[in-house]
Amino acid sequence: MWAFSATGTRWLGAVGSLAVAVGGWTAGTLPARGGAGLWEPRGPLPTVTGAVLAYLGLTLLLAAWWRYGRLLAAGEAPGTRRTLGTLAAWTAPLLLAPPLHSADVYSYIAQGAMVLEGHDVYGAGPSVLGPGDLGADAAASVGGHWTDTPAPYGPVFLVLAQAVVRLTGGAVVPAVLGMRLLALGAVALIAWAVTAAGRAAADGRPEERSDASAGDHGSGALWLAVLNPLLLIHVVGGLHNDGLMIGLMLGGVVLATRGRWVLGSVLVGLAMMIKSPAAVALLFVGATVARGHGARGLLKGLVLPGLTAAGVAAAATLAAGTGFGWLRTQSVAGTIHTALSVTSDLGLGLGLLVADDPEPVKGAVQKLGLAAALAVIAVLARRAWQGRTDPVLGLGISLLALVALSPMVQPWYLLWGTAVVAAVAWHTRLGQFLAVLSAALTYETQPSGHTPAYGFVLAGAVLALGLLWMRRDPWPAAPGQQRATPVPAGAPERA
């Protein structure tokens, strides 16, 4: 049947994406003011109609994505070039849509405006912008928790946001579209990085070196990493800067595995100056540098990539002129309770049971969770150094552990590890599980950015159905994908 072919799924997904975008024009995360007559509330009936249309479109997009993945798993889908064409078809309808599923982009614009207006972006929130300031309309549209919250982002991202505000005069609609261009650049960077990482992994497995096999792996990596509706909705639609962090971070590790660890460390340093979790990648860059060189190599791997990234961070901070306040604002997000954080939920529950004030117990459980995540990361980095785990796979699993045990978790945080794992292990049981979890989490937030109770019900239902499907129809592991392939020691290095 045509609808179930690779070509059919491309156009079914495009129709779904179009429905998401059209629905978003009345039910998306519309600005409080400054919508220029385009992104304005239209009343209850159009809002509900738009939300229904957006959810139907999202479901159709997910169904098309899922079918495309099954074709890939069976070896029946086209190669990398056609998959990139599918990505373009699914992305295009979202380009002119208002922000979807999140109001974070208004914070980005307001923070860029704060820099231009001379405010300390690490000492105050968007509420300091007055009615006549640049970005005032964006500041009025910032979500409740973030109005008075200092920026948790690095100076590189603030420079980009500042440039967008300067070019658009801070007007909401042009500024959002400018931020979307950055999001598209992030998607392109992720697509390059996962394809390059997959090609490098295939080069290390003789049984996967044929052109056809390499193309299949590239398509599969792209399918899980960038065709993923969770990424399309939250990076292209929601404009989250996580996409830029992922692309720079993964690109840096890929360069390091090719022996270009200095340039790789520079990219990771830039990624850290978008969002700080990218620092985890330095351990795996270091493991790549140190592998096969004994104690001296281990010292080199532990010190030099970190020094390079630190130099990039310092230079970026000085060039941006925003100061080093970002060092003290990295924990501000953790003060907000999110229901997806297992450690926060467990800590709060225990605190309510054993204490009058649950916060100290909750804080202790959160710290234990982070300590456990750091232990997992250390073990995986050691295995990568020993050549027992692919460094890209080790990084992906480390990021998943960090998110799972973090005191604050948002649905799109899953993309940190998923995009990295996709590069080298999309066809494994882990890749299949991440696909199921991605599908579930796309339902967790409304197009308006709110998180209703029914969002968790929908996500739970999709997760349960997906796990049942995994049990009944597990993907056969592709050649060389049953386990991580050790990387030969003593790989050549190039600065």
- DSSP code of residue 314: H
Written as one string, the DSSP assignment of 370-405 is HHHHHHHHHHHHHHHHTTSS-HHHHHHHHHHHHHHT
* Residue partners of 22: CB distance under 8 A and separation at least 6: 50, 53, 54, 57
- Spatial separation of the C-alpha atoms in residues 136 and 187, rounded to whole Å: 29
- Residue matched to tokens 């978008």: 274
Give me the sign of the Cα torsion angle 304, 305, 310, 316. positive
- Spatial separation of the C-alpha atoms in residues 254 and 263, rounded to whole Å: 10
pLDDT at 488: 40
Identify how many contiguous H helices and E strands the chain contains and give both numbers.
Answer: 19, 0
How many Cβ atoms sit within 10 Å of the Cβ of residue 81?
Answer: 10
Using only the alpha carbons of the chain, give its radius of gyration: 22
* Residue partners of 260: CB distance under 8 A and separation at least 6: 494, 495
- DSSP code of residue 108: H
Closest CA to 214 of 121, 80, 65, 389: 80
Q: How far is CA 185 from CA 117, 190, 378, 429, in A?
A: 27, 9, 32, 30
pLDDT at 480: 40
Closest CA to 247 of 267, 230, 227: 267
Give me the sign of the Cα torsion angle 301, 249, 449, 147. positive
HSE-up of 451 (CA within 13 Å, CB side)? 14
Q: Is 464 helix (H, G, I), strand (E, B) or coil?
A: helix
* Residue partners of 211: CB distance under 8 A and separation at least 6: none
Q: Is 490 helix (H, G, I), strand (E, B) or coil?
A: coil
- Spatial separation of the C-alpha atoms in residues 61 and 485, rounded to whole Å: 33
Provide the whole-model pTM.
Answer: 0.91
SS3 content of the chain, % helix, strand, coil (to 5): 70, 0, 30
pLDDT tens over the chain, length 495 residues: 666 787 889 999 999 999 999 999 999 999 999 888 889 888 899 999 999 999 999 999 999 999 999 888 887 777 888 999 999 999 999 999 999 999 999 999 999 999 999 999 999 999 999 888 899 999 999 977 789 889 999 999 999 999 999 999 999 999 999 999 999 999 999 999 999 887 766 555 544 444 444 446 688 999 999 999 999 999 999 999 999 999 999 999 999 988 899 999 999 999 999 999 999 999 999 998 888 676 677 777 888 999 999 999 999 999 999 889 988 887 776 677 888 999 999 999 999 998 888 889 999 999 999 999 999 999 999 999 888 999 999 999 999 999 999 999 999 999 999 999 999 999 899 999 999 999 999 999 999 999 999 999 999 999 999 999 888 888 765 444 433 344 444 443 443
In the numeric block, which tokens belong to residue 475?
């993907």
Closest CA to 188 of 157, 155, 222: 222
